[in-house]
Structure 1
Amino acid sequence: MKTVLAALMAAAISTSTAFAGEIGDRAAEAEKLLQSGDSAGALEKFRGAEDALWEAMPLAVLNVKHVDTAAGFGIYTERANHIYKPGEKIVLYMEPVGYGYGSDGLGNKQISLSVDLTVVSASGEELGKMEKISRVQVASRSRNRELFFKLDLSLDGLPPGKYRCDFLMHDENSSKTGPFSTDIEIAG
């Protein structure tokens, strides 16, 4: 708990001043409650600090992996390499953070994310751009933070060679966007 608390405090320092005080204050209150034996109260205050940090942070995409399968958050089989046969499906696993929550109109919080793609050659030439190639929507009674996004990508028609795929994830509940990239190779 102290390691997580230290990481939260470090993150609080790098966020905006308005949120930094709130995050640090809530985390400090959580630590005091824990030391006094009120673990339930400490967890509630700590979650409040986490909420403030989540709202202040930008949208980011963590743990981008080329995978063979992905069945849930942290449940995936990583692919041995980034080399694909012509026409072979590319499957990416990723964990977005910092997204907002909307409403589905039924009392649930709704997470809505979409992804754009730009394919870039090894020489840096932009070969093509596609908007909203994939989208995920999740409705839940709670503010889920363990969310995975599985992206099935088809790049049929690309000749053999090395490429960079630049992505831009959009949070449809806010104006936040999060860029990320991965390299691929189409075998000859």
Structure 2
Amino acid sequence: MRSKRIAINLVFWSMLSVFAIGACPAFAAEPAALLGQAQAQALVGKTDKAYALTEDAAHLLWNRMGLSITTTLVAEPAHGFGMYTPRSNPVFTKKQKAIVYVVPRGYQVQHQSGKYVFGLALDAAILDKSGKPVWEKKDITSRTVASRAFNREFYLCPSLDVSKLPAGGYTLQFTIRDLLTKSSVTSTLPIIRKDS
């Protein structure tokens, strides 16, 4: 492995989605029931209460959907959640870095002492054509977040310096680990390193 030859620069960013919710979500309730209540409130013009109920339903669904991840090669570091420019191709020359926009979904969020808590860790690896790691690192970032908002707009934007890799095809592998449930999910992206 060439861990000393591969530099990694992680731009870590999380957008905290702040929503106007009333009471803390009724976690014993069913999403369908909450959505029915929201519809009833909307029909009588109580849109603020309807919105709060739909948020409570969304929180329940989020915690039930299971952990997933999307990864996208981008032209430059993202400026915020969803604010990125996809890279036009996966070919990298000697002076270019592989910047990846990583979005986890369905990570567990727990309500603790008046705050919403979740924890995530990111691992990364570069694999050769045979699937053998030529570089890997666990816990590129590992963070537990406690917020008064139920945060769903969260992303990471790691930047990998692939300039020292010999020319050829590789696979970038990213694994998100949920620190609360101990579950994990992996996503891969193919890249090509060219000398010219």
TM class by smaller structure: 0.7 to 0.9
Q: Would you say the 8 A contact 2:65–2:106 is kept in 1?
A: yes
1:74 CA displacement: 1.4
RMSD: 2.9
User: What residue number does 1:54 align with?
Assistant: 62
**How far apart, CA to CA, are the structure 2 residues paired with 1:61 and 1:93?**
10
User: What residue number does 1:7 align with?
Assistant: none
Say yes or no: does 1:119 pair with 2:117.
Answer: no
What's the secondary structure of 1:165's corresponding residue? strand
Segments of 5+ residues of structure 1 without an aligned counterpart are 1-18
Number of corresponding residues: 168
Q: Would you say the 8 A contact 1:66–1:81 is kept in 2?
A: no
Deviations 1:108-133 (A, max 9, x none): 54543221123222344444432122
What's the secondary structure of 1:34's corresponding residue? helix
Q: Would you say the 8 A contact 1:58–1:177 is kept in 2?
A: no
1:73 CA displacement: 0.7
Q: Would you say the 8 A contact 2:74–2:84 is kept in 1?
A: no
Segments of 5+ residues of structure 2 without an aligned counterpart are 1-26
Q: Would you say the 8 A contact 1:134–1:151 is kept in 2?
A: no
Q: How does 1:1-188 map to 2 (within 5 A)?
A: 22-62=30-70, 64-86=72-94, 88-101=96-109, 109-135=116-142, 138-155=145-162, 157-188=164-195
Q: 1:46 to 1:52 in 2, by over 3 A?
A: same
- What TM-score do you get using the length of structure 2 for normalisation? 0.71
**How far apart, CA to CA, are the structure 2 residues paired with 1:156 and 1:71?**
24
What amino acid is the match of 2:160?
L
Q: Would you say the 8 A contact 2:91–2:191 is kept in 1?
A: yes
